[in-house]
Structure 1
Amino acid sequence: MPERVFLGWHRPFLGLLTEWLLARREELPGMLVVVPTAQAGRLLREALAEAAGGLLAPRVVTPGHFLHTEEAAPEAIELLAWVEVLESIGDWSPYAAAFPLPPGEDEAPGWAMGLAKSLTGVRKSLQENALMLADAARRLGKTVEGERWEALAALEVKVEQQLKRWRFESRSRVVARGTEIDATRRIVLAGVPDFPAAVVRHLSEAIVLIGAPGSEAGLFDEFGRPVVGWTERKIAWPESGSVTLTADPRQQAAEAMQIAATAGTSSDDLVLGSADEATAGELVRAFGRSGWVLHDPAHLPPAPLKAWLAAWRQFVSRPDAAEAIDLLGYAETGALIGGKRAQRVMALSAARDQWLARDRDDLQRIATVTSRNPEALQLAEETLESLQRHRAVFLREGAHAGLSRLLERIDPRGERSGAIFEWLDATASVAEEVRREPGLWIDLLCSTLPEGTVVPPEDRVLDIQGWLELFHEPGKHLIVCGMNEGLVPGRASSDAWLPEGTRRLLGLSHDAARHARDAYLLTAMIEVRRNDGRVDLLLAKTGSDGDVLLPSRLLLATDEGELPLRVKKLFREIEPPDSSLAWTLDEIWRWKPPVIDKEPRIGVTTFADYLACPFRFYLKHIAGMSEPDPERVEWNQRDFGNVAHIIVERWALDGEAKDFSKEAAIEAWVHEELDRVIAERFGSKVPLAIRIQRESMRQRLSWFARIQAGERERGWQIAEVETKFELDIDGVTVVGRVDRIERHDDGRRRVLDYKTGTTAGPVESSHRTGIVASTRFPAHLENVPQILCTGSDGKPKRWKNLQVALYSAALGDVDELGYFQLGATEGDVKLSLWDGFSIADRDSALACARWIVGQVKNQVFWPPAEKVDFDDYAVLELGRSLGESVTWKGGAA
């Protein structure tokens, strides 16, 4: 039988434990001291060293020491065995009790990996009581769960047989068989309130040190674990200290800092803990702002290279531009492509944004049909070619050899890849027997790599302890955050295989046991500081994700008389920490765009942008800011219009086709050219969304053919296509391109611009808008007579677009101006002419253009318009207006 020793709780447990051990210093080398966590072990070793200097210290371990199994199969091998077994089952009827619907049917590839992880998780939970699935099935045989567990046990047999063929033994079997413990050492359980049931077999002769007075002996079992009686006891709130309700983790951390500062507690006397990971991170930041360097031992970074491996796995599965961009986001990839990661990402992103390029084949096709930015296209293609070359070698050599080669390149010194090479060595023998695609091995690797380690900062003054470590901390002032239900005590099991009732029947940890344990720990931590110390408990109403949190049931453990007061305090309404702060936009909160001074060269189509908003004009045409959309899978309005323009331009450049007067001939030509353009960009694998849009464009082109045939019959003939021009306006070059210039058999001359958008209305109303008594001009257009004009109806108007009007100024005598609209409906495919356009209109447009040129030359791009029809820069407004969210240091209106 274990020997129980009650050390009391008149002062912190660590001091009592150290005294008890030092009183038996001659026996220490033969002791195996068991503490609840590795952090508690560190505290004990430091306390012994400080109290006694150089002595032969005992061996200090955690309960997991008794379940250590070096000879068991690696986790990845056991996971693979489950995958192999699950995928090998053709008839699931023998397992219908566990799987009424056969797994794998109508599911995506990889279903077996997800199910394997679930079942290995069940087996790992059962190891807590040294059980296998077969043992659990026997225990549950007479319950409603019996048949289900028998089915799982039958699968387990197949998995164990598979592991045996690979010359391995599962960890579950090794734990169930039991491990040998050095019998020469005396086991001392030092303040361990909870441990796996499988450990009990090693503790029959242990000394159990309990941090409580002997008067509480009836509330502990023979191994020092709190019994259910603790859940029925009242827990007195700290007399010296507080219980504080906060809004969220951030405010909770700020309150903890304020409590420590007000109390004037030194770092040597302060114990800081959190049962909530989110609050622990906030504590690091809150105390850091006040000069305290804190360390959160529970916050472990992911395994080195794990994120890169996941990105590489995606590229191996799909070697496209999108996956390459994700892969280039990691510095390690630079070793595979010769650097220039940023430039390569920009080149690939631009190709995807401008051309919807998906892969290397698309890039090669695009390079043959455009002369625009060939260097970027070449860099993008070279990037994919280089990565695909490494991928081909990886696939040819297999995951193990291929990963070894890659790791030697991206981590030549082996500073971050040691754990991966160990994993590769441990699984190499099975990889030779099991032929699996490399992606699965990477999935196994990422699933089973241990978490990374973190080196505590040398200048730290305090560690943030977890809930179980706090009992071993000796400081006089204890601050505990995260006193919410689901955190203290921990959340009840949500595992569909192991609900709380099943866990009880199987002798696994369950909610009642955790409740008793945590009730004892909280009571003890308050009692050890009742006469000489302070305890502050904090909780939040909402978590970091906004979910509503409840107070821990431990804070409500009181009698009926006091309960209403506690409920009133813990459930009261509380304002968010920033609810009383008025938002003010001073300079520090405003975005400051760069002031760019470059020689202006204005496009004829951009005057409309300045008239709409000078600052948005600056962002778009001077700063070159735009919001890319490389993730789209279909044409946007720009893409659709560009393709339509290419088709009708090529048609008009065909000397024979442009003079077709028959609708069928024109239709056949443009339809064939549409298919050719699609093939140039997408090859034979055209995405579904593009195929749908292709048919929409095919319909528009049919309507175009009908209108064009009619115009040719009426004597209009195409003379020039895509004609470039330049205008010099006050020393600034204004450039443009006319889509189509026609001549009539009678000598008249007509200029047309293609419009594919759905918003193109009559030409005149697209260029100027009416003015009435109530018209309110945008601030940048107030008192600017150059924008005013008279419409063809004789009414006052103002310019909002100058494009077609300036065609007249650039091309000389023009008899007709207008649009050839290629709208979405049959009625929207038509000619729209500017009736009544005059020399006075041309001169007025030139005057307006001259004013805009002057503004641009003088860098007048402020103030921004309050309202615009289409806003490409709404994301910069921060929910306000550009005028409020931006500080402009350039010219002012």
Structure 2
Amino acid sequence: MNRFFLSWDKPACRAVAERLLSLGNGFHRHLVLVPTRESGRQLREYLASISRTQAIFAPQVIPADQFPRMEEKEETASAPEELAGWLLALGKTPHRLYPRLFPRTMPEDFSSMLEMAGSLQNLRHAMANQGVSCIMAHHACAGRDERWKDMERLEGQCTQQLESWKLEDRTAMKAEAPPRLLNSLRETGGNIILACTAEVPPPLRHALQHAERNGVPVQIWIHAPEEEAASFDSWGCPLPEEWSRRPIPIRDGQIRIAANPARLAEETCRIIARTAEGGTPDIALGVCDPDMNVALDAALRQYGWGLHNPEGKPFAGSGVMDLLRNLRRALEEKGTARPVYSLARSSLLCASLGIKGQQGCCAALDKIQQKFLPETEEYLLSRLKEAYPGAFPSIQAILEWRNRMAEPGMLGERLMEWFPALATIYGPETEAMEMFHSCLSGLMRLQQRSTAFSSPETALLLLMKCLQPLRVRNRRKAHAALDSLGWMEVHFRPERNLILTGLNEGTVPEGGVSDQFMPEELRETLGIDSFNRKKARDSFLLTALLHSREREGSLTILLSRTSSRNDPLTPSSLLMRCPEAELPHRVERLFQEISDVPAPLPYQRGNWHLQPAEGWKTAADIGAMAPGYKNPWKEKGLAFSPSVLKRFLACPMRFWMREALHMNEEEFLPDKEDMAVNELGTMLHDVLECFCREHAVLKDGMNAASFQNAITEILEQTFRKQYGPSPLMPLLLQKRSMEQRLSVYAVQHLQALQEGWSCIAFEHQVENWILGGFPMKFRIDRIDRHADGHIRVIDYKTGAASSCEKKHLDPLGRPDALPLLSPALHPYTKRLKNGKLAHARWKDLQLPVYVLWASETYGGHPSAAYYALPANPMDIGISSWDTLHDTMPGYEECALDSACSWTVELMKLLHEGRGLITAEELGWTPPSYDVFKDLMTSRRESLQDLLGLRLTPHLPF
């Protein structure tokens, strides 16, 4: 082996490219082995960029670890077949077959066995990559670890299983140079160049030695000066005894500390902006800790740069993997309704099946789910066919696809039949489809050779397990100006300026935690990738990076004190490899106290402010605040309702935000399993209306038992019509609760009839009733008339209701603030039992509005009441409001008069679009469930942006 030292006064990529060009026009005949796939791409691009003036043929460049496996045989086992071999080798009771490897009984379900087989497969691959066999590990332990005997036997069983399928185990392949490649190199006179690869595991060494024995010279190029020759072995790997403790020439000024990833990202952007100076930045970004990527990408996007990750994205996060997860659920829960929703939401599946109008199908399914909560697929389809027949064929096509996948022993073949349609839809990201096709081919071949995986559920789990660890290269987006480079990628970048982020202990050097199978002592004995060797490698790489940017360019190390999850991070021990005299100062710098200074709000940045002296709101009405908003009460003559007034009284400003921004406080819950409060109330209302219509007046023969039977029967019919014959268990529990409530109600209703009351209206709809010149509409749950002619309006409440007065009035702590909303609004004042006066404001006007309408319709002084139907039967009953018409001594206004004046004034405010004031400013308690809280207080600039507030810039003094 011939070693050549390239010096380290320039980046490794430049040094390698320049030496290749110095070899003359025949350098394309050589094979160049580089550390990683990204290193190869970078070298090819750089060679093309520096040879634009002349036409050259670039050499073949591949990652070093791929060299021994370049020409794998067709009969080599695929990932699914190899994993299946491990599964069958484990057997059904591995703790009995391999007692030293599994001393305790382990779960024997398929998922657990699959996880164990995957772990053993990964261990065997890691050992094969280092050229270690079970026999070698057993001898290195001097017989102290008996597990290796069982491991060897287990591996033998797996190999035998693959041989019975006429497949070859890739981990058992000899470490030799590819024959066809060797012939080509011999014919052209080319060499193999191992370029700046700091790790050369035994299999690669054996393959290179095999190449030399077969007449192909091997050159070792080392990114270091000739004076460092004694600190590298014959393969160009740093010697641990030389590099594990050598001081690293880092200057204090090259290290910067940030409080968290967000601050680290901001500092990164500042450095890049200074380096770029308006042009394309000649800078590379190393992200040793992937946890920093999210913050870095977000910050760089704000600058218009963006971040590209050359390592790619996990296949586990792709749309294909999501679809396979949903298919697994559909196979395991066939006959239930829930998996149908998940499959219908897969855009890949719908597009591949030629389904148009996916959004409409999903909307139809969501509406059925929200209304009927179907448990079975059959009931879901019946409701879908009845309510949304246009969506039925699409859902039917999805279920037919699922049924094809459910055929025993045919999953691989059926997925392969569907694959062309999927690949067409998936688009230009062909690498993901190549990976998927490769695994599908292995699965299909496996199912043809073995009946052990004929179950579609187990076959799908096996396929997903093989796809899980794969990574797919991303296409570079147009805005992505910078690459997010891992630690092993940074060394081969040609840029003059370099930023290293996330250089934390545990990432650089990697590991440090002992492995249960391959502890450090065993690794050292075997001479493989021990923590000590990784530390020497990383020490050399950091040293080379520093020297390569010493003459021109810069290297900055940015550290975050915490992770994105706010866990503390420790700087890499490499940063403390300085002379002893400097160590105390270096430690102080790395671990100094640092505080996270909050970023300025948008209106506080720069040399001007958006905060006007008179307050952050300058608009007088909603039209001026949100110019595009159309007020429906003014422009369309929309009728008012008590519920609208109630929302306005909760917080006027929040009300206008919701109206102008079309924001909804209600959360949509796709995994809903029971009735929401309003749905339960609606069903109770329906049952009560039907019951009261049949039993509106007292008749002979009526008794409590007959009333209870009648109302229970009505509930049964209503419930079955809504939720089908097989409802979910949570629904059955709610039904039982309603039965208990209605049974008590039936007895009380009979008592009311016996006391002289009769029902004269149910769910009475009032339309375009005029109050104070404004139209109103509402629905009254029930209206009763007594034998003496007295009228009572009733509103049902499914929860435990307070008294009517408490539900409508709130103590007013700051009466002086009420004119901020409107000078025409006055507190409602009453005298307490202790003689003191109390001021209150209206927070709901429902019952007073009902009574005002009833007074006009029926005359006299109608009363109002809540009929509470809570879960506790002891609290069921009527709560009357008998003091609405009573005038307090010394005051002319009764509660009903006060409510009337408030109702008219509030409708006037809504009609004019006024009332831009928060509950906090009025001294009112803000709504308990408040999705707008941040916008109303600490993040007003966001509200300004949302509403397009017209604010005048205000220069600071």
Same fold by TM-score greater than 0.5: yes
Check if 1:874 corresponds to 2:931.
yes
Please list the CA deviations of residues 78-99 of structure 1 after superposition, one character each: whole Å capped at 9, or x if unmatched: 223334555x414632334333
Q: Give the total of aligned pairs.
A: 877
User: Where do residues 684-833 of structure 1 align in structure 2 (5 Å cutoff)?
Assistant: 684-726=725-767, 727-730=769-772, 732-758=774-800, 760-769=801-810, 775=815, 778=818, 781=821, 783-785=823-825, 788=828, 798-811=841-854, 812-813=858-859, 815-833=862-880
For 1:229, give the aligned amino acid.
E
Work out the CA distance in 2 between the residues paired with 1:640 and 1:614: 29
Counterpart contact for 1:480–1:538, Cα < 8 Å: yes
Instruction: Give the letter for the 2:913 counterpart.
Output: Q
Change (3 A) 1:780 1:738: farther
Check conservation: 2:5, 2:225, Cα contact below 8 A: yes
Change (3 A) 1:241 1:713: closer
Distance 1:477 1:258 in 2: 14
- 1:603-752 → structure 2 map (5 Å cutoff): 603-618=641-656, 623=662, 625-630=664-669, 631-655=671-695, 661-726=702-767, 727-730=769-772, 732-752=774-794
The residue number in structure 1 matching 2:558 is 538
Q: Secondary structure at the match of 2:162?
A: helix
The match for 1:89 is 92
Q: Deviations over 1:745-784 (max 9, x none)?
A: 45544332221212x2222333345668x65655665533
Distance change >3 Å, CA 38–CA 742, structure 1 → 2:
closer
CA distance 1:323–1:228, change in 2 (3 Å)? same
Match of 1:104 in 2: 107
Equivalent residue number for residue 891 of structure 2: none
Three-state SS of the structure 2 residue aligned to 1:724 is: strand
Q: 1:504 to 1:642 in 2, by over 3 A?
A: farther
Alignment partners' CA distance in 2, 1:842 and 1:94: 85
The one-letter amino acid paired with 2:721 is: E
2:434 is the alignment partner of 1:395? no
Larger displacement relative to structure 2 (287-296 or 715-724):
287-296
For 2:418 and 2:816, how far apart are their aligned partners in 1? 65
Distance 1:15 1:347, change over 3 A: closer
In structure 1, how many angstroms separate the alpha carbons of the residues matched to 2:829 and 2:817? 14
- Please, which runs of 5 or more residues in structure 1 have no aligned partner? 369-373
Contact 1:273 1:466 in 2 (8 A): yes
Distance 1:521 1:284, change over 3 A: same
Code of the aligned partner of 2:759: I
User: Which of 202-211 and 170-179 deviates more?
Assistant: 170-179
Q: How far has the Cα of 1:194 moved from its partner?
A: 0.4
What SS does the aligned partner of 1:387 have? helix
The aligned amino acid for 1:556 is: M
- Cα gap change, 1:57/1:733 in structure 2, threshold over 3 Å: closer, same or farther? closer
Q: How far is the alpha carbon of 1:280 from its aligned partner?
A: 5.6
Provide the rounded CA distance (Å) in 1 between the counterparts of 2:573 and 2:819: 61
**Gap change, CA 1:436 and 1:728, over 3 Å in 2:** farther
Q: Aligned pair 1:297/2:310, yes or no?
A: yes
Query: Are the counterparts in 1 of residues 935 and 942 from structure 2 also a CA contact under 8 Å?
Result: yes
How far residue 562 of structure 1 moved from its aligned partner, in angstroms, is 1.3
Q: Is the 8 A contact 1:619 1:625 kept in 2?
A: no
2:80 to 65, 69, 76: 76
Distance 1:456 1:340 in 2: 31
Counting aligned pairs with the same residue, the percent is: 26
> Which residue of 585, 605, 610 maps to 1:565?
585
SS at match of 2:193: strand
Task: Please say if residues 641 and 757 of structure 1, whose CA atoms lie closer than 8 Å, have aligned partners that are also in contact.
Answer: no
The answer to whether 1:41 aligns with 2:75 is no
SS in 2 for 1:538: strand
Is the aligned partner of 1:859 residue 2:860?
no
How far is the alpha carbon of 1:467 from its aligned partner?
A: 2.8
Compute the TM-score of the two structures, normalised by the length of structure 1. 0.85
2: CA distance between counterparts of 1:771 and 1:254?
47
Judging changes above 3 Å, is the alpha-carbon distance between structure 1 residues 765 and 402 closer, same or farther for their aligned structure 2 residues?
A: same
**2:467 maps to 1:428:** no
Question: 1:300-699 residue pairs with structure 2 within 5 A?
Answer: 300=313, 302=315, 305-318=320-333, 323-335=339-351, 336=353, 338-357=355-374, 360-363=377-380, 384-396=395-407, 398-412=410-424, 415=427, 418-419=433-434, 420-432=436-448, 433-434=450-451, 435-449=453-467, 450-456=470-476, 463=483, 465-493=485-513, 496-531=516-551, 534-576=554-596, 578=598, 595-598=629-632, 599=636, 600-618=638-656, 623=662, 625-630=664-669, 631-655=671-695, 661-699=702-740
Contact 1:658 1:718 in 2 (8 A): no
Aligned-pair Cα RMSD in Å: 4.2
State the distance in 1 between where 2:931 and 2:733 align.
Answer: 30
Preserved contact between residue 194 and residue 517 of structure 1 (Cα < 8 Å): yes
Report the CA distance shift for 1:784/1:66 in structure 2 as closer, same or farther (over 3 A): same
- Matched-pair contact (CA < 8 Å) for 1:818–1:833: yes
Match of 2:62 in 1: 61
Q: Distance in 1 between matches of 2:202 and 2:816?
A: 80
Q: Deviations over 1:165-214 (max 9, x none)?
A: 33322222225799657274643322211032221212334332223334
DSSP-derived class of the 2:224 partner: coil
1:347-375 per-position Cα deviation (integer Å, ceiling 9, x unaligned): 4334434444556555567789xxxxx96
Cα distance in 2 for partners of 1:709, 1:497 equals 78
Q: Is the 8 A contact 1:819 1:833 kept in 2?
A: yes
Deviation digits for residues 787-828 of structure 1, max 9, x if unmatched?
647689997754433322333333324654312221233431
**Structure 1 residues 367, 539: closer, same or farther in 2, change over 3 A?**
closer
Gaps of 5+ in 2: 213-217, 618-624, 887-893, 951-957
CA deviation profile, 1:61-84 (whole Å, cap 9, x unmatched): 322223313442111222233345
Establish whether residue 274 from structure 1 lines up as the match of residue 294 from structure 2.
no
CA distance in 1, matches of 2:711, 2:563: 60
Asked if the contact 1:235/1:557 (under 8 Å) is kept, the reply is yes
Structure 1 residue 555: deviation in Å? 1.2
**Which residue in the other structure is 1:371 paired with?**
none
**Does 1:835 pair with 2:882?**
yes
Q: 1:193 aligns with which of 198, 214, 226?
A: 198
**8 Å contact from structure 1 (residues 617, 861) kept in 2:** no
Q: 1:712 to 1:340 in 2, by over 3 A?
A: same
State whether structure 2 residue 192 is matched by structure 1 residue 182: no
Give the letter for the 2:907 counterpart: V
Residue 571 of structure 1: how far off its partner (Å)? 1.2
Whole-angstrom CA distance in 1 between matches of 2:369 and 2:447: 38
- 8 Å CA contact 1:352–1:358 kept in 2: the answer is no
Report if the CA contact (8 A) 1:129-1:507 is conserved: no
Tell me the alpha carbon deviations over residues 243-272 of structure 1, each in whole angstroms, 9 at most, x when there is no partner: 222334444444345445556798696454
Task: Say which SS state the counterpart of residue 143 (structure 2) adopts.
Answer: coil
Contact persistence 1:595–1:889 (CA under 8 A): no
Give 1:134 shift: 6.0
The whole-number CA distance in structure 2 between the counterparts of 1:567 and 1:711 is 83
